[in-house]
Amino acid sequence: MLADRLTGLFMVVLGALAAWGGSRLPPVPGQQIGPEVFPMVVGIGLVLCGALIALGVGHQFEEEAEADLAKITSEFEADQGLSHQDMPLWRQAFVLVPPLLLVFYYLAVDRIGFLPTAAVIVFCASLALGGRVRLALPMAIAAPLFVNMIFVKLLRVPLPSGFLPLPWIGLP
Amino acid sequence: MMSTLLEAFRMVLQTDVIIAIVLSSIYGLVVGSLPGLSATMATALLVPVTFYLSPIAAIATIISASAMAIFSGDIPGALLRIPGTPASAAYTDEAYAMTRKGQPELALGICVWFSALGGIAGTLSLMALAPPLAEMALQFSTFEYFWLAFLGLMCATMVARSSPVKAIASMLIGLLVSCVGIENPAGTPRFTFGLTDLLSGIEPIPALVGVFAVSEVMRAMLTPEPPKLPYRRFGSILAGQLALTKQYVAPQVRGNIVGIIIGVLPGAGADMAAWVSYSMSKRFSKEPEKFGTGHPEGLIEAGASNNASLASGWVPSLLFGIPGDTITAIAIGVLYMKGLNPGPTLFTERASSMYALYIIFIIANIIMIPLGILMIRIAAMVLRAPRAAVMPVIIVLCAVGAFATGNNLFAVLTVAAFGAIGYVMERFGYPFAAMVLGIVMGTMVEQNFVTSLIKSDGSILPFFNRPVAAVLAAMTIAALLWPAAAWIASLLSAKRVPKAGAA
């Protein structure tokens, strides 16, 4: 329920910001309905919904749905003796690995090229998922080459080659 | 009519289309069978590939990959008690109970056989429903389209397996996302925060890839690796299926019809169809006590239902550009890119393409049987692929795929951001399918809302006094009030229960 309070309040703030931001948009001369109407309607709706969520309205629907799913998933997780609730905080932070690796791709690919960037991503993600170096290292070499072959050779997507110009695999 | 049909066959029987169907079927079977990789994710990762195919081949890959993935999600469900896709979750227990009784062939046979039959039933409904609806839709104006889009959004929140308030909030967030950029009736840049990359708005496809693929990889970071599947020899997979088909006619018909209806409802897809059908099957069964002990009835009904919903999900998508489920939400993006803009005229001007689409659906559901049996036999090998090898490749594919949609690196950041958003929403019980619908339909809702208001000079009367608009408006308002009514009813009954207990 605390989570509902927090996310509900977040929705209220987000909706208020959207409505306020929308109201400041310049109107179109000679027209009553400008670009500000839609964001304001949506923003006000969000404020209302956020308030309802924070007050706990509609929570029992969720409990019913969760009960159905929990029958299947929780028993399995209990069998494995693992549930993410009792993981240490640093281990839970692993959840951020995939988006951070994508940000890394954004920053690095034009500088060092596709193959090294993808190799770093595959290697790190594989280790984070509990893979051994014995698996992660060959994957880090093979997977980028494979993706490169599909996208550069077959689909002709211009992936940057960086400092590894390899004309024989389609990189300039 | 006849010449269009022949033309459609000619379009489907091209070499590239046939190759596309076979390869994407295999891809769909593999992705669907791996736990944690859903059918929607399979479709999302296919999008960059479809760019480089002919329009018919592009649609063929999406149709066959999604149909196969929905079926093959049943395989780990039956053998390991872990649903491969969310659509299999509803009857995983039942299928696993059959395996434990020593009938894995029967369980998997039911899954493949009735999935194929359900898929064909769904296709027939698409063929029967779409043309007359297209006829009607030709007379729609912006008022009707506004209500239709609004109704679509409300349906998605009504059927979400979560709190309706949270579903509406998710949908509104999606609409807010669609506000970003200058793609609005006034052409004013909105919420761009001075970033040129945001001027063209947030591209739906990278956002969907993030929500459906990256958030799954994020979840995998915290969940334990599924156990390995033991090798086993299967007997005949299809043995006894014909007898079951004859024995359980009513559940099948009911499953198909429920699946078709849920498929047509915007935003509700295969997983919803399976849950509803399974519980309906239990309610109407003559032997409900057998459910959960490895009884074929519920499996037949729900297995048919989720595949039937897949085809009928295309009805609103093709007619109005309103996605029938999350898979068609992605498919609509592909349709626009391929010049097959959704709308009623698709059925009059591009009739042969539509026939081709039906034919592909039928072909995909027929080859599902042999390919599915093959997949069942090698499942133990495929499911041995460790997550630490599969998931990293998916991250790379997300990055490259998003980049390929517009040769724009900013899309990669969009993927990352929406991955995180999707994960957080799921964790706190906000259904992200509703947000996806908001993102996909936002522009359409606003366009029709604003043009209607401009046309009527700010008056809201024309929204209600056209006959079709009035009916749609009534339905929308009912959908809007339904959660409130249900909530009040539950409050009243909650008050009554302790009183009864006290007495």
In this predicted model, what pLDDT tens digit does every residue of B162-216 receive, in sequence order? 778 888 899 999 999 998 988 777 778 888 888 888 888 888 888 988 998 999 8
Q: What is the mean pLDDT of residues B422-427?
A: 91
Amino acid (1-letter code) at residue A103: V
Residues on chain B touching A84 (C-beta within 8 angstroms): 222-223
The token pair at B65 is: 């990959």
Cβ count within 10 A of residue B381: 10
The token pair at B111 is: 């899954």
Q: Which residues of B218-241 are buried (b: 16+ CB within 10 A; e: fewer)?
A: bbbbbbbbbeebeeeeeeebeebb
Q: Which of A44, A82, A83, A105 to mutate to test the interface with B (most CBs of B within 10 A)?
A: A105
The pLDDT value recorded for residue B112 is 92
Residue B496 lies in a domain: no
| Model pLDDT for residues B291-324, shown as the tens digit of each residue | 888 889 989 999 999 999 999 999 999 988 888 8
B287 or B491: which carries more pLDDT confidence?
B287
Residue B433 lies in a domain: yes
Residues on chain B touching A61 (C-beta within 8 angstroms): 162-164, 486
- Examine the domain organization and report whether A102 and A77 are in the same domain: no
Least confident range of B106-120, B187-201, B252-266: B187-201
- Examine the domain organization and report whether A8 and A68 are in the same domain: yes
Number of structural domains found in chain A: 2
Q: State the nearest Cα–Cα gap between B461 and chain A, in angstroms.
A: 16
A and B: number of Cβ contacts within 8 A: 240
User: Which residue has tokens 């999406």?
Assistant: B62
Number of structural domains found in chain B: 1
| Closest Cβ–Cβ partner in B162, B168, B222 for A62 | B162
Q: Residue A151 and residue B449: Cβ atoms within 8 Å? A: no
Residue B502 lies in a domain: no
Residues on chain B touching A33 (C-beta within 8 angstroms): 450, 453-454, 458
Residue B108 lies in a domain: yes
Residue B357 lies in a domain: yes
DSSP character string of B19-63: HHHHHHHHHHHHHHHSTT--HHHHHHHHHHHHTTS-HHHHHHHHH
**Cβ(B214)–Cβ(B422) under 8 Å?**
yes
Q: How confident is the model at residue B160 (pLDDT cuts 50, 70, 90)?
A: low
> Residue A77 and residue A83: Cα distance in Å, rounded?
6
- Check pLDDT > 60 for residue B106: yes
> Residue B217 and residue B164: Cα distance in Å, rounded?
27
- Examine the domain organization and report whether A151 and A101 are in the same domain: yes
The pLDDT value recorded for residue B503 is 35
The pLDDT value recorded for residue B496 is 59
Q: How confident is the model at residue A1 (pLDDT cuts 50, 70, 90)?
A: confident
Q: Would you call A34 an interface residue with chain B, using a CB distance cutoff of 8 Å?
A: yes
User: Which residue has tokens 């593999």?
Assistant: B30
Instruction: Please state, for a pLDDT cut of 70, what percent of chain B lies above it.
Output: 97
Greatest distance between any 2 Cα atoms in chain A: 68
**Cβ(B31)–Cβ(B70) under 8 Å?**
no
Q: Residue B92 and residue A71: Cβ atoms within 8 Å? A: no
> Residue B191 and residue B175: Cα distance in Å, rounded?
13
Q: At what angle do helices A133-148 and A114-128 cross, to 10 degrees?
A: 140
Q: How confident is the model at residue A81 (pLDDT cuts 50, 70, 90)?
A: very low
Residues on chain A touching B395 (C-beta within 8 angstroms): 98, 101-102, 121-122, 125
Q: How confident is the model at residue A170 (pLDDT cuts 50, 70, 90)?
A: low
| Closest Cβ–Cβ partner in A71, A126, A151 for B404 | A151
Least confident range of A63-67, A102-106, B426-430: A63-67
Q: State the nearest Cα–Cα gap between B253 and chain A, in angstroms.
A: 25
| Model pLDDT for residues B362-388, shown as the tens digit of each residue | 999 999 999 999 999 888 888 888 888
- Examine the domain organization and report whether A28 and A101 are in the same domain: no
Domain that holds residue B6: 2-487
Domain end residue (candidates: A29, A51, A83)? A83
The pLDDT value recorded for residue B499 is 43
Q: Residue A151 and residue B89: Cβ atoms within 8 Å? A: no
Q: What does R_g of chain A's alpha carbons equal in angstroms?
A: 24
Q: State the nearest Cα–Cα gap between B415 and chain A, in angstroms.
A: 8
Q: At what angle do helices B351-382 and B15-33 cross, to 10 degrees?
A: 40
Q: Residue A156 and residue B392: Cβ atoms within 8 Å? A: no
| Closest Cβ–Cβ partner in B162, B179, B397 for A147 | B397
- Examine the domain organization and report whether A73 and A110 are in the same domain: no
Domain that holds residue A136: 93-169
Contacts of B166 (CB under 8 A, 6+ apart): A49, A53, A58, A62, B429, B430, B431
Residue A49 lies in a domain: yes
Q: What is the mean pLDDT of residues A118-123?
A: 94
Residue B411 lies in a domain: yes
Q: Residue B413 and residue A102: Cβ atoms within 8 Å? A: yes
The pLDDT value recorded for residue B271 is 84
Q: Would you call B458 an interface residue with chain A, using a CB distance cutoff of 8 Å?
A: yes
Residue A124 lies in a domain: yes
- Examine the domain organization and report whether A73 and A103 are in the same domain: no
Q: What is the mean pLDDT of residues B329-343?
A: 88
The token pair at B209 is: 């890839």
The pLDDT value recorded for residue B415 is 94
- Check pLDDT > 60 for residue B502: no
The pLDDT value recorded for residue A90 is 83
**Cβ(B257)–Cβ(B118) under 8 Å?**
no
- H or E segment and range at residue A75: helix A59-79
Residues in chain B: 503
Q: Residue B400 and residue A159: Cβ atoms within 8 Å? A: yes
Contacts of B118 (CB under 8 A, 6+ apart): B252, B255, B256, B259, B303, B304, B305, B306, B307, B308
The pLDDT value recorded for residue B182 is 82
Contacts of B471 (CB under 8 A, 6+ apart): none
| Closest Cβ–Cβ partner in B48, B83, B409 for A106 | B409
> Residue A78 and residue A84: Cα distance in Å, rounded?
11
- Three-state DSSP string of B76-91: HHHHHCCCCCHHHHHH
Name the DSSP letter for residue A86.
Answer: G
Residue A88 lies in a domain: no
| Closest Cβ–Cβ partner in A60, A62, A87 for B222 | A87
Give the residue among B31, B385, B217 at the shortest CA–CA distance from A128: B217
H-helix segments, chain A: 2-23, 37-54, 59-79, 89-92, 97-112, 114-128, 133-148
| Model pLDDT for residues B438-482, shown as the tens digit of each residue | 888 888 888 888 888 888 887 888 888 888 888 888 888 887 777
- Check pLDDT > 60 for residue A168: no
- Examine the domain organization and report whether A60 and A110 are in the same domain: no
Q: At what angle do helices B104-137 and B296-312 cross, to 10 degrees?
A: 30
**Cβ(B263)–Cβ(B70) under 8 Å?**
no
Helix (H, G, I), strand (E, B) or coil at B447: helix
User: Which residue has tokens 């999008």?
Assistant: B47
Q: Residue B428 and residue A4: Cβ atoms within 8 Å? A: yes
Residues on chain B touching A132 (C-beta within 8 angstroms): 388
Amino acid (1-letter code) at residue B437: L
Q: Would you call A120 an interface residue with chain B, using a CB distance cutoff of 8 Å?
A: no
First CA to last CA across chain A, in angstroms?
Answer: 56
ipTM here: 0.87
Contacts of A85 (CB under 8 A, 6+ apart): none
Q: What does R_g of chain B's alpha carbons equal in angstroms?
A: 23
B179: β partners: none
- Examine the domain organization and report whether A78 and A6 are in the same domain: yes
Q: What is the mean pLDDT of residues A103-130?
A: 92
Q: How confident is the model at residue B239 (pLDDT cuts 50, 70, 90)?
A: confident
- Check pLDDT > 60 for residue A99: yes
> Residue B442 and residue A8: Cα distance in Å, rounded?
22
Compute CA distances B261 → A166, B10, B99, B144, whole Å.
Answer: 53, 31, 31, 21
Report the residue of chain A nearest B408, measured CA to CA.
A106
> Residue B158 and residue B173: Cα distance in Å, rounded?
16
Q: Would you call A56 an interface residue with chain B, using a CB distance cutoff of 8 Å?
A: no
- Check pLDDT > 50 for residue A119: yes
Compute CA distances A166 → A120, A139, A143, A145, whole Å.
Answer: 18, 19, 16, 11
Q: Would you call B183 an interface residue with chain A, using a CB distance cutoff of 8 Å?
A: no
DSSP character string of B179-193: HSBS-STT---BS-T
Residue A117 lies in a domain: yes
Contacts of A45 (CB under 8 A, 6+ apart): A15, B168, B172
Amino acid (1-letter code) at residue B246: K
> Residue B307 and residue B302: Cα distance in Å, rounded?
9
User: Within the 217-256 window of chain B, which residues sit less than 8 Å (CB to CB) from chain A?
Assistant: 217-225
Neighbouring C-alpha atoms within 13 Å toward the C-beta of B202: 31
3-state helix, strand, coil in chain A (%, to 5): 75, 0, 25
Q: Residue B214 and residue A98: Cβ atoms within 8 Å? A: yes
The token pair at B51 is: 């760019």
The pLDDT value recorded for residue B501 is 39
Burial tier of A109 (Cβ tally within 10 Å: 0-12, 13-18, 19+): buried
Q: State the nearest Cα–Cα gap between B256 and chain A, in angstroms.
A: 22
> Residue B231 and residue B475: Cα distance in Å, rounded?
53
A130: left (phi over 0), alpha (psi -120 to 50) or beta: left
B342 or B186: which carries more pLDDT confidence?
B342
Q: State the nearest Cα–Cα gap between B242 and chain A, in angstroms.
A: 30
User: Which residue has tokens 């029709």?
Assistant: B448
> Residue B315 and residue B122: Cα distance in Å, rounded?
10
Report the residue of chain B nearest A154, measured CA to CA.
B52
φ, ψ for residue B194, nearest 5 deg? 75, 5
Give the residue among B436, B70, B439, B415 at the shortest CA–CA distance from B213: B415
Least confident range of B46-60, B164-178, B192-206, B250-264: B192-206
